[in-house]
Structure formats: C-alpha cells, structure tokens
Amino acid sequence: MSVRWINEFRNWVTALFRKDTLHDEFHAEMEQHLDFMIDDLTRQGMSREEARKEALKQFGNVEFLKEDCQASWGIRIWDDFVNDFRFAIRQLFKHKVHTAIIVLTLAICMGSNTTAYNLVVKLVSKPYDYADADQVVLVGKKWPKLQGDSIGQVSIPHYAFLEENTESFSSIGFVADGNFFDLDLNNSTRRVATDKITAGVWDVTGVRPVAGRFFSQEDVEQSSGKVAVLSEALWRELGGEDAQIVGEQLRLDGESYQVIGIAPESFYLRYERADVWVPRVFKPWEFQPDQRNNHSFSVVAKLKSGVSHDQANQRLRSLYESFLEIHPGDRLEQERTGATFGSVDINVSLTQGLEQIGMAFRSIQFVTLVVLVIGCLNVGGMILLKGYARIQELAMRKAMGASVFRLARQVYVEIVVYFLLGGAFSILVLKAAFQGSQLVQIDDIPWAGEWAIDANSLLVTAAIALGAALLTGVMPLVSLLRRELMEFIKSGNRSMTGSKSKHRLQSAFVISQVSLSVILLIMAGVLIRNLNAVLQKDVGFDREGRIAFEVPHPKYRFGEGEEDYRAKVLTFQERALLSICSIPGVINASTTNRIPIDVRHMNHSSFSMSHYEYEEGEPEATALRLVTRPGYFDTVGTRLILGRDFQETDTHQTERVVIISQNTMERYYQGMDPVGLSISIWGKDMKIVGVAEQVQDKPFFMEFDQYTIYFPAKQWHDLSNGQTTFVVHTQGDSEQQLASIEKAILEVDPKVTIDSITFDDVYKGATFTQRLPMIMTALFAGLALLLSSLGLYGLISFTVTERTKEFGIRMALGAGRRNILKRVMGGSSWLIGCGLTVGLVVSFLVCSQLNPVFSDVNTTNPVTFVGVIVFVLAICLFATVFPAHRATRINITRTLQY
Amino acid sequence: MGKVRKELLQGTLDLLILKALATGRMHGWDISKRIQVVSKDRLKLKQGSLYPALHRLEGRDWIIAEWGVSDAGRSAKFYSLTKKGKAQLEEEKEHWLSFAEAMKSVLKMEEQS
C-alpha cells in the first residue's frame, strides 16, 4: 500500500513538470498504433483512405482515452485541484456574508494574537535578544530574608572577588549604567547616556559591532580607558558613515576619547538605552574593603556550556561563604538578611520583582486567548454549517462514485482559500496594531526596542484556527460515512427542519459564543476597573502646570566636594531660580534631586530614631532620599502636615534638619509629635522639623514599602545624584513656558544640558503598567465582542436563509410576519439565554476567586455584571433582528418556485 | 451490478496484458494482436482501451516502457515486464485460476441440482 502511494506521489510530481512531454508522447503512441492498424487493414485489401476511417472507428475516441490515461499519469490530480480551487472561489463570491465573516474573523484573530504575543515577548519574556541569551545571567547579591529571590547590585570589591573566581562562567562583565556625559559639539553641549563597562561585557553579550570594533582589556590599558563605543543612533546623529567618526576623538565631560566602534541599535544593557559605552577603569581605593557596602553596580556573565543555572547558583553561594571568610564583618548582615551571591537569567531579571508588569501582561495574553477561541468558534461554526447545508449534494456525489478523499479535498481547498485571504487581511490588522502601539506610547517603555512581526506567532495562531476549521470541516463527511447515503438523499426536505446533529452543534456554537463573550467582558470589566482604581488614587502632588528640568552638574565643570558644591552648584541653582521666577506666569520654583513618581534616581538609606529601638531581627527602616530647597512642597502641591518647610537659613553651618513623610510618622510615631525629635542617618543626628503629606514617590509598578526623608539642599553636597532638578509651577501654555524656562536656565549657564518633562508625562510613564493593559484589554475585549457578534449574526442568518423555504410555506399557509419573526427570535433567544446564564455563572465563580488578587475593587460588583448583560443582550438582539427581519420579507412565490 | 462487471473486466485486461508481455517486449499494437490471436478471436477488445490499462500498469511499476524501432522500421513505444510485474502476473494468475475453478464448480453444482 505504502509503495503504491510513493509511486503515485512520484507520478504526480513528474506529471506536474512533464505535462507537455506526456501529452506529446501519448499522441505519438496513438499515431503509431493507428499506423500499424492502417498497415494491417491495407494488407487486407482496403484502400489507405478506407483503412484510416476503419482504424479510427475501431480505435475509439482518443480524447476519452487520454482522460483515462491522465489518471495514471497523475495529471488528473492537478486538474482536479485547479477545479476545486475554482469551485472554492465561486463559493466565496456566492456567499458573501459568510465569506466576509470568516475572513474578517481570521484576520482579526491572527493579527491581534500576533500583536499581543509580540508585545509580551518583547516586554516580559524576552526583552534581551543577545546571542545565546539563555546562557547569559545577571549576577548579584541577594537578601532572601528581605527581598526574596530578586538579585540586587554589587560593590566593586564584590565584583573583583567574583571575577577572580569565575569557574561557572566563560566570561564576566561589569556594568555601571545610568551615567551621563556632556558631549561637546563645538557650539553646543549634548547630554549622552553612558554605560561604563568592562571589556568582558562584549564577550558576555556576544554583540557584534556595526562598524569598527569593541574595546578589549589591552585597549583599555593602552589608552588609560579613553576609548568609546557609540550607539548606532548617536553615530547617525553625528553623520554616520559619511562623517568617518570611527577613529576620531570626541570630547566627553571635557576629556578626549577615541571612538573605536559602533554598537547596533538593538543593543542595550539595563533599563535605559545608552548612547555611549566607555571602559570602567577602577581606582585602587575602590577595591578597599570599606567600599563593599556601595552596592551600585551590575554584573553580567555567560554560563560555561554544560553549567546549569542551579549549578551556577550553588557555586555562587559557596563563593559568598569564601567572601565572608575574608570579610567576617559581613556575617552579621548575612544572619539578619540571608545575604549571598546569586544569579538570574538575564531575560527574567528585568521584570523580576515587578510583579504587576507580569500580571498585567499575562492578563493580556488571557484576553487574546479568549479572542482566539471565539475566533475558532466563528470559523469552525461557519464552516460546519456550510458543510451541513451541502450534505445532500455531498451524499449524491458520493453515491455517484466520488471518493471521500475527493470530497474532503474539495472542502479543504475551500478552507485553505479562506485562510489565505484571512492571512492577507491580517497583515492589514497588524499594520493598524503597529500604528496603534505608537499611540499608546509603547516606545516610551525603556526596553521596548523595535517592532517586528513574529512569524512564529502568526503561524501558531493560523495553525490553531486551521486545526479548528479542518476538524469542523470534516464533520459532515464523517456523518456521511457513518450513515447510509440514501438517508441523506431521501431526506430531500431536510432543510425544513434541519438534521438533529446539525441542530445540536449549532446550538452548542451559539451558547458557547454568548457565554465566552460574557466571561470575557466581565473579566475585562473587572480588570479595567481595577487598573482604573489605581489611577484614581491620590498621588500626593499636583501635576497641573508642573514642569521638571533636570540639569546635571558634571564634575569637569562643577567640581566635586563640599567647597565646589557651595561655590558652583548652589550658586548656579540660586541664579537659575531667580531667573526662572522672573518669567511671567511662573508661580513658584524650587529644586529637588528627583521627580516624584519617576523611575530614576532612587537612593535609599537606613535610619534609626532617638525614641525607637529596633527589635531583635527587625530590619532597619530605609528611606528614599530627597534633597530639596525651600518652597519645594508648595511648588509640587504637597501639604506639610506638621512643622515647617526648610528655610534659606538651614545651611551647612546650622543644625542638620530633615522632613519626614506621613507614613514614617504613622508607623514609628504613633500618637506622638515627631517635630523636634531626632533621627540618625549615617551615624549623624538630625532634627525633624516637619512632616510632609504622603506622596506616591515611586511608579505604581514598584512595590511601595519604604519611607521618604527630605534633606535641605544647602546642608548636603553629596546627595544630589550629580544633577539638579528644577521644579516649576507655571500658568498658561506649558509648551511655551517650558521653552522660556529652558532659555532662562541657559542664560545663567549656556553650557549645561537640560532634560525637561511635564509632570503629566512623568505620570504617564509611571502608570504605563496600568494604562497599557487597560487599553489592550479594552481593545481586545472590543475585538472579541465584534467577533462574537459577527459569529452570532452569521450563525443565525445562515439558519434563517436555510429555512427560507419553510417560512415561504408557512407564509403561504397564512402565517403572518409577526409569527415568523417570533419563530426566528424565539429559537435564538432561548439559546442566547442559555449562553448568558452559563457565562454569568462561570464568571461569577472566577471573579469571586479573584477578589484577593484585585484588592482595589470588588470583583463581584453587580454594576459590571448588569452592564455586561445589557451589552450582550443588545448585541444578540442586533444579530437576530436583521436576519429575522429578512425572513419576513421573503417573496413567497419565488421562494417556493425552486 | 455495472460497477462489478467493470472492475472484473479491468482486472482481466491487466492480466491479459501481463501474460502477453511475459513472452518479451512488445508495442501496443503487438499486444492487442497477440491477445486476439491467443484467445482465438474470442476476446476482441476495442483497440484504444488497451492504452489506459498500459499506462496504469506502468504507473504501478509492473511494466516499463521505452521508445525503440519496430521490425517494420517504425519508431514505437515498447513495453516489457518488470520484476515486480512478473511477480504480479504469477499472483494474478493463481488468483484467477482458483477463482475460475471455484466458479466452475459452483455453476456446475447449480446445473446438477
């Protein structure tokens, strides 16, 4: 049997390519046979003319013979295929509504699923696309008793120790990210984001330069670290290939660096994309033991082949034990926090600890999955109905000798044609999705990177839907095989009542469509309400008219140390504030070291209080450090609950003072007035002069668990993160104000670089984990609804069309329009009712389980449920009324003629 | 019943062709001639109907075709049995003979009773 199949297959293939030769040979062979016959007949005494006539008569019709032979050549199969294809196209045009529903469903399904998949992969599961990314790990210190498994940063002594003991790693690299350099462009200064790294990073990530080369350890030593690699974006900005930048010198923070290579656009190391990579050169003092508490750096490493993550982690744990032997002073910390070395897959590291991001995107995946299921139901249902509508025709053809294979092929060719069309249209959907993603500012997410259609996800979605279609497509044929053909052929009037199995299936389709849409809508409603509840929270500061201007004061111009800070930085701040305040429309201005709710510049310090003793094993409280000038609270619209704001008289010569946050007071000063009490940080005592209203300091997607302490700018020279953030409260057009304030700052110092942003935009960035899933969920829920209403419309209208004859007879026998309408509506409303009930019960069960997860809203709130019921009913009514209406408008005589 | 007869005849024709080719390679005309002569004119087939059968057998690798020159000096397509074809001929022959034997005894019994 199998040999025969192989033969047949070979014949098909040869036939496809040798079609013409086979035809020629056939005719030659027939000619030759006729010649033999003619010879034979002339020998018997006929004239040549007569002999030819007789021969042709005896031989039979050559064309018929050719038909027969073609079957053996394998040509028939191609001709049949072309016929099936033609037939499918004709069917497509004949049932336009049907075709439109299937094609639209497929397009939306494939398009939306691919978009969602891309998004989730890019943002959550695989943000890094290094070569062998699964072997690249982020190495760091972890504090299991405090922060679970999340990997924190390390100090330089830690890194030095790890680098010396790299048994599990084939390469290891050091990253100090989030630095900025001033790039001197002759008549202006551009701020460039800079990662300071060791040469090992290039080996770990396996990235290849676009031009030039990356620096090696020798390069670093020979140039004393004065080499730079530029990003492709900066390279282009500076003129790209034409400007021959590789090999040239650039001035960064006043020092000359030689550009030796260009890194590709897609390359990035941590949260932000850098413009420049320069070597991190270590100074001898940085390896001193007292530096081991400065946990500010990341380490990336590549596992040796054959080493598993678990093995690497085990090795790292024992390494930390060896580290403790050298630094026994850290044992106490280890006992308290469980501190050790650890590593995590680089692709997990970015979202580790950001539970909300993961959950938001999983919910998007869930919603798209439901869209896919509804899509499959649509496609499957429509194909099934169509199959059953043609079952009599199929039965007849089978009775006349058509093989089941042949019939199945025809059905499948039709399905494939639908999928080709759907695939083509899905490209349009994808295009729209891409444009949509720009509207919701996906690009603003630091690690979003570029967009590309993922062919795999497109194919997987198509395969699932195709599976559903093929499965349902074959069902009518299975019925044909199972039962006597005569049964189908005799039941010529089957369209009057519809066969039982078909009816059952159709009901199942309607019920599942309705219940799925109900579940989806309720889930979407709950999710959106939950996300929205977060957005409604009071953040503790005002956004309206507030603009922030981040101005770095790099060492090369502003120096370092206390003297320089007072002479240069504070003077600059005061002059700039004066200049800003003189602009009409500026209500208030002050400075800080970070913008509220922003993701950057989050530095914490632990503190102790004069009145409070930490219990045995209780972790010390840590606070986010904010350095502000007088007037900051008024400028950002935060109230002081107790005490006073900083004053110009709080200087380095007066008593150190701080303002604490509301939650610090609520936690540690219950029923007390903290003002006047002292707290101790870095071993220094400071007096509390005020308590500020609670502010949402960190983005919503980060765990909010820490306190905030405000320090006066004049008393601290080393807490500013190397930059001043001017915050300004303005009136009027913020675009215009922004420009004039920038100008005012530049008038004070023309060489500074300014990064300005409105509080509104900061807020948008900080809430993207709420807004994005909200938009996506709403979008996909909308799509799913569209799909299921399309499906319902298709199913019901198809049934009505099928029953046209029955309605014709009923009307001819005197049934009124109202009666027919009732019949159509009655039948479907029962099914819709069933679907609604199933959907409501399931979603109620799911939602009551979800209550603890979505703590901000009541998930079983009746408002969502009632809203959804009304909505679904409206959709169903819409899907039923049109076909029902059409049913009553039929022309009786014409209907019964056929 | 029409279908059964058709199948029977088809199988028979295949067997006849295989048997004819057992004596050596031949072209289409020779085969038809030979079947006619050997069956003493009792099996007279429509000349053309030979070809679909020949092509089918070729498709199954039972016979193989090649172009050559006939005794009369004409170019013609010659068919000959393959190894598989020979095996098939034996099998079919067995099958046919036992079938004919069975039929014969059944029909004879009918007449007697």
d(CA A100, CA A421): 10
**Taking residues A615-625, what's their average pLDDT?**
81
Lowest model confidence (mean pLDDT) among A109-113, A185-189, A305-309, B109-113:
B109-113
Q: Are the beta carbons of A237 and A266 closer than 8 angstroms?
A: no
Q: Are the beta carbons of A179 and A208 closer than 8 angstroms?
A: no
**Interchain contact, A32 vs B58, CB within 8 Å:** no
Question: What is the pLDDT, as a whole number, of residue B47?
Answer: 74
Kindly give, in sequence order, each residue whose CB lies less than 8 Å from that of residue A709, ignoring residues fewer than 6 positions away.
A605, A607, A623, A624, A625, A626, A658, A659, A660, A661, A664, A679, A681
Q: Is the pLDDT of residue A418 over 50?
A: yes
Q: Are the beta carbons of A725 and A550 closer than 8 angstroms?
A: yes
Average pLDDT, chain A: 82
Question: What is the pLDDT, as a whole number, of residue A9?
Answer: 73
List CB contacts (< 8 A) between A11 and chain B. 59
Strands (E), A630-706: 640-643, 657-661, 678-681, 684-692
**Interchain contact, B49 vs A69, CB within 8 Å:** no
List CB contacts (< 8 A) between A33 and chain B. 27-29, 47, 51
Lowest model confidence (mean pLDDT) among A321-330, A506-515, A591-600, A678-687:
A506-515
Nearest to A83 by CA among A72, A94, A73, A91: A91
Residues A657-705 pLDDT 10s = 999 999 999 989 988 899 999 999 888 899 999 999 989 888 776 665 6
**Interchain contact, B77 vs A11, CB within 8 Å:** no
In this complex, the residue of A8, A64, A69 whose CB is nearest that of residue B55 is: A69
Q: Is the pLDDT of residue A826 over 80?
A: no
CA distances in angstroms from A651 to A683, A713, A770, listed in the order given: 19, 8, 42
Q: Are the beta carbons of A327 and A743 closer than 8 angstroms?
A: no
Question: What is the pLDDT, as a whole number, of residue A634?
Answer: 94
CA A386, A391, A397 angle in degrees (round to 5)? 125
Query: Band of the pLDDT at A174, cuts 50, 70, 90?
Result: very high
Query: Band of the pLDDT at B8, cuts 50, 70, 90?
Result: very low
**3 state SS of A168:** coil
Lowest model confidence (mean pLDDT) among A120-124, A528-532, B30-34:
A120-124
Q: Is the pLDDT of residue A711 over 80?
A: yes
Nearest to A506 by CA among A794, A795, A789: A795
Q: Are the beta carbons of A38 and A25 closer than 8 angstroms?
A: no
ipTM beyond 0.90? no
d(CA A775, CA A789): 21
Lowest model confidence (mean pLDDT) among A213-227, A747-761, A849-863:
A849-863
Options 3.60.15.30, 1.10.240.10, 2.130.10.10, 1.10.10.10; CATH for B2-112 is 1.10.10.10
Q: Which residue in chain B is spatially nearest to A39 when comparing CA positions?
A: B72
**3 state SS of A821:** helix
Q: Which residue in chain B is spatially nearest to A33 when comparing CA positions?
A: B29
Q: For residue A277, what is the enclosing H or E element?
A: strand A276-279
d(CA A262, CA A276): 9
Q: For residue A257, what is the enclosing H or E element?
A: strand A255-263
**3 state SS of A249:** strand
Query: Band of the pLDDT at A139, cuts 50, 70, 90?
Result: very high
Indicate the pTM of the whole model. 0.65
Kindly give, in sequence order, each residue whose CB lies less than 8 Å from that of residue A196, ignoring residues fewer than 6 positions away.
A175, A176, A177, A179, A277, A278, A279, A280
Query: Band of the pLDDT at A437, cuts 50, 70, 90?
Result: low
Query: What is the secondary structure of A495-520 as a DSSP string?
Result: HHH--HHHHHHHHHHHHHHHHHHHHH
Lowest model confidence (mean pLDDT) among A67-76, A468-477, A550-559:
A67-76
**Interchain contact, A71 vs B58, CB within 8 Å:** no
CA A399, A403, A405 angle in degrees (round to 5)? 145
Nearest to A419 by CA among A802, A88, A29, A175: A88
Q: Cα B20 to chain center, whole Å?
A: 7
Nearest to A728 by CA among A603, A565, A597, A573: A573
Cβ contacts below 8 Å, chain A against chain B, sum to: 69
Question: What is the pLDDT, as a whole number, of residue A719?
Answer: 85
Could you tell me the two tokens for B110?
């009918």
**Interchain contact, B59 vs A7, CB within 8 Å:** yes
Hey, what amino acid is at A128? Y
Question: What is the pLDDT, as a whole number, of residue A15?
Answer: 66
Contacts 24+ apart (CB under 8 A), A451-457: A451/A118, A451/A122, A452/A118, A453/A114, A453/A118, A454/A114, A454/A117, A454/A118, A454/A121, A457/A113, A457/A114, A457/A117, A457/A118, A457/A121
d(CA A329, CA B12): 100
Secondary structure letter of residue B1 according to DSSP: -
Identify the top-confidence range among A68-77, A429-438, A726-735: A726-735
Q: Are the beta carbons of B78 and B21 closer than 8 angstroms?
A: no
Q: Is the pLDDT of residue A209 over 80?
A: yes
Could you tell me the two tokens for A361?
């995107």
- What is the helix, strand, coil percentage profile of chain A, to 5? 60, 15, 25
Q: Quick count: other Cβ atoms within 10 Å of Cβ A549?
A: 24
List CB contacts (< 8 A) between A60 and chain B. 46-49
Question: What is the pLDDT, as a whole number, of residue A438?
Answer: 64
For chain B, the domains span: 2-112
Hey, what amino acid is at A781? A
Residues A795-816 pLDDT 10s = 777 777 777 777 778 888 887 7
Chosen for mutation from A23, A69, A76, A398 (greatest number of chain B CBs closer than 10 Å) is A69
Å between B10 CA and nearest CA of chain A: 13
**3 state SS of A840:** helix
Q: Which residue in chain A is spatially nearest to B58 when comparing CA positions?
A: A72
Å between B18 CA and nearest CA of chain A: 17
CA A691, A695, A698 angle in degrees (round to 5)? 130
- pLDDT > 70 in chain B, percent: 82
**3 state SS of B53:** helix
Could you tell me the two tokens for A421?
């069309």
d(CA A87, CA A75): 18
**Taking residues A448-469, what's their average pLDDT?**
70
C-alpha torsion angle, residues A72, A73, A76, A78 (rounded to 10): 140
Nearest to A112 by CA among A373, A298, A496: A373
Å between B112 CA and nearest CA of chain A: 39
**Taking residues B13-17, what's their average pLDDT?**
84
Question: What is the pLDDT, as a whole number, of residue A342?
Answer: 92
Could you tell me the two tokens for A521?
């809508």
Q: Is the pLDDT of residue A613 over 50?
A: yes
Could you tell me the two tokens for A819?
């009666």
Nearest to A178 by CA among A260, A292, A268: A268
Q: Which residue in chain A is spatially nearest to B50 when comparing CA positions?
A: A65
Residues A498-523 pLDDT 10s = 466 667 777 888 888 888 888 888 87
H-helix segments, A401-499: 404-439, 455-482, 485-490, 494-497
Q: Positive or negative CA dihedral for A261, A262, A268, A273?
A: positive
List CB contacts (< 8 A) between A64 and chain B. 48
Tokens 């943002």 -> residue: A123
Question: What is the pLDDT, as a whole number, of residue B7?
Answer: 43
Residues A354-373 pLDDT 10s = 666 666 666 777 777 778 88
The residue with greater pLDDT, A830 or A662, is A662
List CB contacts (< 8 A) between A401 and chain B. 3
Phi, psi of A316 (to 5 degrees): -65, -40
For chain A, the domains span: 2-73, 76-127+354-492, 133-349, 503-531+761-898, 554-751
List CB contacts (< 8 A) between B76 and chain A. 29, 32, 36
**Taking residues A546-550, what's their average pLDDT?**
94
**Interchain contact, A35 vs B58, CB within 8 Å:** no
d(CA A387, CA A675): 81
d(CA A251, CA B59): 79
Query: What is the secondary structure of A58-69 as a DSSP string?
Result: HH--HHHHHHHH
The residue with greater pLDDT, A796 or A647, is A647
Q: Is the pLDDT of residue B110 over 90?
A: no
Q: For residue A766, what is the enclosing H or E element?
A: helix A759-766
Query: Band of the pLDDT at A495, cuts 50, 70, 90?
Result: very low
Residues A234-291 pLDDT 10s = 999 888 777 788 888 999 988 999 999 999 887 888 767 789 999 999 999 999 988 8
Residues B49-77 pLDDT 10s = 788 888 888 878 888 888 888 777 778 88
**Interchain contact, A72 vs B56, CB within 8 Å:** yes
